[in-house]
Amino acid sequence: MSSDVPFGCRPTLSIGVSIAHALEDLELLLKFARRAESDAKNGLHGEAAVGRDRNGLAVAVRARGNIAVTVREQWPAASENDGREKPLVQRSLAERLDWWGDRFAGGEIPDKFPHELLETARFYENWDDRESLAEAVKADVMRIFARKDTDLSAENEAEIARYIGRKLGDGAGVKELADELVVGQWIAFARRYTRKPTPQKEAER
């Protein structure tokens, strides 16, 4: 698109994606999808200004009977999305969710991790010492990712460390990371259920 087009006249694309249990009531699913669309346009707290902060992607997950988990971010500028391999910290929300989904689908990160991160976020909500907060949060989250029940390559562990170093500074940041992992985990669930069986698996049936 030409840069001569006035900013306020440029079209935007806001997309809301909802993921829910197949047995959920259809009316609730429709309501859930519309809420995701609204979050994409307006932000999770209505903070998106018309014509400026819209142009977003929102992905919401709702396990049956549980509250929704939603992540939202603006699409990157065209110059930032040139198709080259980028570090995790520079990737768009869609790319990060895909990356986390790969980690869960490959068994590199245990399924319980998002819930442990949520507990960590709650712990730091009322942390009084603001000077030590950022370093404490980063150290605690890296401790979780460095445990023995992970199967991360050295390269992917370094990617996560850089991401944590740049993105996390308080309990709210941990909550956002946990929400990203929850959505990535559901993407991995979908991949597992829709993956075509190998010829060996077919022969075993």
Q: Residue 164 and residue 72: Cα distance in Å, rounded?
A: 18
Which DSSP state fits 76? P
Q: Which positions ≥6 away from 71 have C-beta within 8 Å?
A: 58, 59, 60, 93, 97, 176, 179, 180, 183
- Specify which residues 20 forms β-bridges with: 62
Q: Which CB contacts under 8 angstroms, 24+ apart, belong to 169-173?
A: 169/133, 169/134, 169/137, 170/124, 170/127, 170/133, 170/134, 170/137, 171/120, 171/121, 171/122, 171/123, 171/124, 171/125, 171/127, 171/137, 172/121, 173/137
pLDDT for residue 204: 42
Which DSSP state fits 23? T
pLDDT for residue 173: 87
pLDDT for residue 202: 45
- For each of the chain's 205 residues, which pLDDT tens digit applies? 445 555 555 667 899 999 988 888 888 889 999 999 999 988 887 766 555 577 899 999 987 767 789 999 988 876 555 556 788 988 999 999 999 999 999 999 998 888 899 898 888 887 877 778 888 888 999 988 888 789 999 999 999 999 988 888 777 888 899 999 999 999 998 887 776 544 444 444 4
**The one-letter amino acid at 56:** G
- Check the CA dihedral 138-19-45-57 and report its sign: positive
pLDDT for residue 199: 47
